[in-house]
Amino acid sequence: MQATTDTVIVRGPDGKPKTFEGVTTLMGNLGLFIKHEESVEMYVWENVLYMKWTDLKARESIWEEALAELIADAFEDEWDDDYEDEEPPAKPKAEVKEEAKSTAEPTNSDDPDVNPYSS
């Protein structure tokens, strides 16, 4: 989401806080993109310390986006929980028999009690 942000404080590459005033920001999955007169910079979310919006349109837009994201996350978590509780589907009997054959211990050809010609 793109918005004009009054104040943004991020942790710069040197680890020190860096403040931007009156910049255009774009929020993405990778992090926050900040566009100002000199350049465009990208900061991963772990380095974004503070953001402030005072413009009415920007506030409403940011708030709506945040609510939509929270609701989507809640439904996604609920959907994941529903499928975690289910048991995996049972295998067909033919497949189970094949697995039993393939996992059976190999017969010892030197064992006198084993007929190597019987299947």
Q: Per-10-residue mean pLDDT for the chain, 119 residues long?
A: 90 95 91 93 96 87 88 79 62 60 62 76
pLDDT of residue 33: 96
Separation between Cα atoms, residue 54 and residue 28, nearest integer Å = 21
pLDDT, residue 87, reads 65
User: Is the pTM higher than 0.85?
Assistant: no
Distances (CA, A) of 1 to 27, 46, 65: 5, 18, 8
